[in-house]
Chains A and B, each alone.
Chain A
Amino acid sequence: MKHLLLKLAGEPLLHFTLLGAVLFASQDVWLPLLQPTTITVSQADSQRLLAQWQRDTGKQANRETVSALIQQYIDEEVLLHEARWLGLQARDPVVRERLIRNMRFVEQNQQRDDAALLDAALALGMLETDLVVRRRLLQRMRHRIEAQAAMTTAEVDAYFKRHAQHFAKPPRFTFQQLYFSHNASEKRLAAQSAIAAGASEETLGKLGEPFLLGNKLQNLSQDEIERQLGPEIAQAIVQAMPGEWIGPINSIYGQHLLRLEIITKSEPPRFADVRREVIARFYAEREDATLRATLLQLRKRYKVEIEPPRQEAS
């Protein structure tokens, strides 16, 4: 790394790059000052947001609702302005295809080329009005911002320790069963007698009725036992003492005589096993925070004008 940096330091190209970068980055400072963009939220906008929200949620809105909806709308408008500033409307294939297709539909008889159609679509304000285009641009902008979320290994470590419980694995149970359908109580009683008399495992194995999942179930968690045999059996097994026959336990299938053989306690979760999931969960939180913080920053570049919502929106 160091070696490479030394090598690079002598590169004229690097100097050129840095120069370009400085010039380029500085526009971030002066550009917003020179061109403060105004975002206007009209009464009609507020009404529309409110109507949509009420239709979707079926709830009555109060003053806070209206205000929150407007703030959310402004955030979206900011992102759309930024997207346009980046030229995403022309580069993004989904947006572009959608706009051109819209225009082809509108102008079925004309033979304009794609570039002209795209210009026409933009002139018609389709960036704002087409739902697909709008969602797509918002998604891309959010991704760009979320991509700046970062974290150190120490933070990941701490996060893992804090949430270790979430990644812990449940104990697993290996057990034997003798199954009897509800109308086989004689067989079941015979098996119980044989158990009491200390019959061999082989003898006992022949006393139960066949069960599709078999007579020995291996390494299942409580949830898995419940999913395969129902909650009654799962309960009985987790409360059983290893080595002892218990039952009959009723299940939806019939009656079961059960013998827990081994409980395998899970070791504490190892970071190596779960690191991807840990990082993913942590990132998801970081991304949200980054998005919120960046939106606050971006807001500063815009002048926002909100027409007061009408009184009846109570």
Chain B
Amino acid sequence: MTMLRSIFITSLVLLVASCGGNNSNDTLAQGNGGANTAQSGQCKHHNPNRQAFFGDLHVHTVYSLDANTQGTIVDPHDAYRFAKGERLGIQPYLEDGTATRFTQLARPLDFAAVTDHAELFGEVEICTNPDYLEYNLPECQIYRQSPENAFLLFNFLQLGLPELPSFPIPDGLPIISELPVLGADGRIPRLAFCGALDTNLGILAGATCLEAAKTPWRDIQAAAENHNDRSDDCDFSTFVAYEYTAAPLSNNLHRNVIFKTAVVPEIPPAYQENPHPELLWKTLSEECSKEAGCEYLTIPHNSNLSAGLMFETKDRFNNNYTAEFATTRQLNEPLAEIYQHKGQSECLGTTGAGANDELCGFELIPYNNLTGDRFGGLNTGDPLPGDFLREAMKDGLKLQKDLGVNPFKYGLIGSSDTHLGTPGNVEETPFPGHGGAGENPADGIEGLTDVIEASPGGLAVLYAEENTRESLFDAMRRREAYATSGTRPIVRFFGGWDIPANACGRSDFVDLGYANGVPMGGDLAAQPSDNAAPIFAVSALRDPGGTGVSSEPLQRIQIIKGWVDADGEKHEEVFEVAGDPNNGASVDTQTCQTSGPGFANLCSVWTDNNFEPEQHAFYYARVVENPSCRWSTHQCVAAAVDCDAPETVPEAFANCCNADYPKTIQERAWTSPIWYQPAP
């Protein structure tokens, strides 16, 4: 049997090779059509003053084995359909494959990226290690001799064995019958990017389709291609993306890698081959070059669970940062995910001048790595201040002072990290849990839908001229982005030296912001005169809610300043700039009814009167809503849990009465900072 197979395979491969090797590794670049996205200015809604687009850049589907083994069968195509507003069945499933739970977004997203764990894609079969048994298999010999043809072979095997009913192949099986050169013949190769365009039919055909066997990475790319709206309606954008899953000893160094176009590496660089982030960046820079039409950025998340690793001020050899290394980090990572299902990474609120920032208690995970409370806390500990972005950004200022470059110059986004394949499903109610690990996986089973410390996660908001990959990606690069905890307030934040004090009363607020300052994510221009102080204008509209979505009014806007003084000491201060922290808004945690006044919109022009021109500084705005019930409280109320009568509380609702976790939250938005750098 093996013998027969060998003969056949060997001859086939020789045949393919003798055909002139016309299927070289141009396959991905060729059919990808990165240029197919709407050209700038093509969208009907194009707005030169930019507009806020809401999305989710952290989504797991069936291709993440941790989601898969929890019962998620939602694939990337389903995930994008869900993001666009379609109803989706989620696990667990009945015996006939019917879902037991359904979920749907009340408000579809503008963009999304499926980011499955690359470490389990397993795109290339084992052929390169002589210790392995199959090193000498004929297909492996071919792989080593002619890797560019090997994918043809592997995929031929994938297609052909052993389901092949007979040979020669009947008409019904197009790909095989079109060997060795695939013609159109009215047949469409199975994946949308697998070949050149047939200009007559306007569909795909061509010689490269043997590589089109379905694998996770290819399916992820196909899903992104297929659901990216190319019409001038520009309704929805997708990104080809994946998660780089580095977590030495469960200390989280995860990053989502987002690609600008459909031109992407053939195999996504993963942790096994790139065991440090700087190696990831190196490999990406080699395999994703701008010249070839490939661009990328990486977005770290859950620094709160990195046990001190995410913002270490050393490289992997334990050397201090150099200017070059700091530049590399900044170029590769313009954004960080400040909030998601596994908590916020903004601030801990226990050290320094910000110790009295009570809003740092928001969705704070009580341990410092991915081990969580398993093993009795043996492999983890209390959260560490340096793992939070506010502290890291201050460290970044310090490094900038010393090196001239700030490695931790992060713009801010939120996302969900859903493992149900449900991007943007981030409202507190109904929250189906983030994966299959909840207490009550099916409707009708009682219990909290997730562990008590988890939460639904947030959204990424990008300021772009229009909803296309190109325009959104440029926004990420500019850091013109903000994060929300799942709600949809609209926030504008500008900084400059001559923003008029009456900006809030003018209808050209946004024009003024751009003309007289820089938007969130930008750098203040040099101080124009000795006594000049920077002025910040921040304006916010509350989440309007809508059919099936409740929303709360705004409570206040704060500006948070971080700076480093002449001695290199780090400082931070929270300024109340609009609204009223003591507006008396409240929630009845027995009913989740909210009450008290709030603001439909807030606006402020604030001057930093303590400004010292020789101090490096950053400023970001935090827009805070009135309090509302946390997801767990909604579920506890619905189940009529009575903590005053502990004996009546079912085990699955025990955490309703866990005093370590708050009953209410204040939804919020965090803008990307604006930075100030003294003149050299």
User: Do A and B bind?
Assistant: yes
CB neighbours (8 Å) of B137 from chain A are 91
What are 29 A-B residue pairs whose CB atoms fall within 8 Å in the complex? A4-B19, A4-B181, A13-B11, A13-B14, A17-B8, A17-B11, A17-B14, A21-B168, A24-B4, A24-B8, A57-B93, A90-B126, A91-B137, A92-B126, A139-B68, A147-B213, A150-B188, A153-B186, A153-B187, A212-B490, A212-B509, A212-B603, A231-B547, A253-B542, A273-B230, A277-B226, A284-B77, A297-B163, A298-B163
Q: How many A-B residue pairs have CB under 8 A?
A: 273
Among all A-B residue pairs, the 9 with the closest Cβ atoms = A25-B167, A58-B445, A20-B8, A280-B226, A94-B122, A56-B92, A68-B95, A143-B214, A230-B544
Bound: A32/B13 CA distance, A: 27
Q: A225 to chain B: closest CB distance in Å?
A: 10
Bound: A235/B129 CA distance, A: 65
Bound: A139/B77 CA distance, A: 16
Selected contact of A279 from candidates B45, B159, B188, CB within 8 Å: B188
Selected contact of A68 from candidates B8, B96, B161, B165, CB within 8 Å: B96
Is the Cβ of A252 less than 8 Å from the Cβ of B126? no
Selected contact of B544 from candidates A25, A147, A154, A229, CB within 8 Å: A229
Q: 1/0 contact trace for B528-542 toward A, CB 8 Å?
A: 000000000001111
State whether A144 and B546 are in contact (beta carbons under 8 Å apart), knowing that A219-B45, A279-B192, A280-B223 are contacts in the complex. no
Interface segment, one of B169-177, B365-373, B608-616, B672-680: B169-177
State whether A279 and B122 are in contact (beta carbons under 8 Å apart), knowing that A22-B167, A53-B95 are contacts in the complex. no
Selected contact of A13 from candidates B15, B107, B108, CB within 8 Å: B15
Is the Cβ of A93 less than 8 Å from the Cβ of B122? yes
Least CB separation from B120: chain A residue: A94
Least CB separation from A223: chain B residue: B108
Bound: A251/B5 CA distance, A: 71
A105 at the interface (CB under 8 A from B): no
Selected contact of B444 from candidates A58, A132, A205, A211, CB within 8 Å: A58
CB neighbours (8 Å) of A150 from chain B are 172-175, 187-188, 190
CB neighbours (8 Å) of B231 from chain A are 169, 269-270, 273-274
Bound: A82/B539 CA distance, A: 62
Q: B443 to chain A: closest CB distance in Å?
A: 9
B525 at the interface (CB under 8 A from A): no
A43 at the interface (CB under 8 A from B): no
Least CB separation from B127: chain A residue: A91
Bound: A208/B173 CA distance, A: 66
Is the Cβ of A132 less than 8 Å from the Cβ of B539? no
B506 at the interface (CB under 8 A from A): yes
Give me 14 other A-B pairs in contact (C-beta within 8 A), A58-B444, A172-B44 excluded. A1-B183, A14-B15, A68-B96, A92-B125, A93-B122, A93-B125, A150-B188, A181-B600, A218-B47, A231-B547, A252-B551, A253-B544, A253-B601, A279-B204
CB neighbours (8 Å) of A210 from chain B are 504-507, 509
Bound: A218/B186 CA distance, A: 42
B441 at the interface (CB under 8 A from A): yes
Best-buried of A181, A214, A229, A264 by chain B (most CB within 10 Å): A214
Q: B77 to chain A: closest CB distance in Å?
A: 6
CB contacts under 8 Å to B, within A41-72, are 53, 56-59, 61, 64-65, 68-69, 72
Is the Cβ of B68 less than 8 Å from the Cβ of A69? no
CB contacts under 8 Å to B, within A253-309, are 253-254, 264, 266, 269-277, 279-280, 283-284, 294, 297-298
Least CB separation from B488: chain A residue: A227
Is the Cβ of B222 less than 8 Å from the Cβ of A280? yes
Best-buried of A61, A131, A252 by chain B (most CB within 10 Å): A252
Interface segment, one of A111-119, A194-202, A237-245: A111-119
Best-buried of B158, B490, B509, B510 by chain A (most CB within 10 Å): B158
A193 at the interface (CB under 8 A from B): no
Is the Cβ of B164 less than 8 Å from the Cβ of A28? yes
B349 at the interface (CB under 8 A from A): no
B1 at the interface (CB under 8 A from A): yes
CB contacts under 8 Å to A, within B67-111, are 68-69, 71, 77, 91-96, 100, 107-108
Is the Cβ of A220 less than 8 Å from the Cβ of B71? no
State whether A205 and B507 are in contact (beta carbons under 8 Å apart), knowing that A13-B11, A153-B201, A169-B235 are contacts in the complex. yes
CB contacts under 8 Å to A, within B129-165, are 129, 131-134, 137, 157-159, 161-165
B617 at the interface (CB under 8 A from A): no
Is the Cβ of A28 less than 8 Å from the Cβ of B165? yes
Residues on B close to A: CB < 8 A?
1, 4-5, 7-8, 11-12, 14-15, 18-19, 44-45, 47, 49, 62, 65, 68-69, 71, 77, 91-96, 100, 107-108, 120-122, 124-126, 129, 131-134, 137, 157-159, 161-168, 172-175, 180-181, 183, 186-188, 190, 192, 201-204, 212-215, 219, 222-223, 225-227, 230-231, 233, 235, 440-442, 444-445, 488, 490, 492, 504-507, 509-510, 539-542, 544-547, 551, 600-601, 603
Bound: A273/B166 CA distance, A: 38
Q: A213 to chain B: closest CB distance in Å?
A: 7
CB neighbours (8 Å) of B14 from chain A are 13, 17
Q: A16 to chain B: closest CB distance in Å?
A: 5
Bound: A248/B92 CA distance, A: 48
Q: A248 to chain B: closest CB distance in Å?
A: 15
Least CB separation from B10: chain A residue: A20
A148 at the interface (CB under 8 A from B): yes
Best-buried of B44, B100, B181 by chain A (most CB within 10 Å): B44
